[in-house]
Amino acid sequence: MAELSLRQPVANTAPREGYARIHGLHHWAFRCRDADETRHFYEEILGLPLAAAVQHDRVPSTQEYCPYYHFFFELADGSYLAFFDLMDGKGYTHDPATPDWVNHLALEVDSVEALETAKKKLLEHKVDVLGVIDHKWFKSIYFFDPNGIRLELACRTAPIADMKQKYENAEKVMAGRKARMEQMKREKAGK
């Protein structure tokens, strides 16, 4: 059986002279509407442990007065998903100019079985789930957290050789962008 591409770098294999090596996600942070609601979702439905929490009245970087709680859920690789609760009951506001499916956070699971397990738990808690969608090189499910953040759970399914091929083709794919934009303009103009 071909070796699957489980978090093995293909394009980013060597340090670049003069650049710091950025090797992974430390944390991703977002605003939440309510810490209890967010904790319920991430701890009880997705199964992530609360790993750290701080409370500040002033923003450390700017000293602005804005009391908040900042709390962190730990992923299995030691990275974190973090949230700010500004205790004003206001959450993230979606940008109406951006389609709902564009901005999202994709998290990795080890297997298609894990995707199914997560989906089952989400459905038990009446969370709408889209998928399992087969992207050919990974499979995914999609859903929204209580803050309106679109989340994806993804499981890699392609052999390393396929990922090397994708790496080799990436510049070529992007090189077609300008021509595609011109074609879209013509389509829009009905030409």
| Per-residue binder mask for Fe ion (CB under 5 A), 103-142, x = binder | ---x------------------------------------
Q: How far is the CB of 79 from Fe ion (least distance, A)?
A: 17
Distance CA 124, CA 152 (A): 18
Task: Return the number of the residue (58 or 135) whose C-beta is nearest Fe ion.
Answer: 135
Task: Return the number of the residue (85 or 152) whose C-beta is nearest Fe ion.
Answer: 152
Distance CA 99, CA 96 (A): 7
Binding residues with Fe ion: total (CB under 5 A):
2
Residue 9 per-residue DSSP state: -
Q: How far is the CB of 15 from Fe ion (least distance, A)?
A: 27
**E strand or H helix that includes residue 170:** helix 160-175
> How far, in whole angstroms, is CA 14 from its chain's centroid?
25
Task: Return the number of the residue (106 or 170) whose C-beta is nearest Fe ion.
Answer: 106
Task: Return the number of the residue (108 or 116) whose C-beta is nearest Fe ion.
Answer: 108
Q: Which two tokens stand for residue 71?
A: 């709390």
- Dihedral pair phi/psi, residue 28, rounded to 5°: -120, 135
Subset of residues 145 to 184 that bind Fe ion, contact rule: CB under 5 A = 152
The residues that touch Fe ion, with contacts defined as CB under 5 A, are 106, 152
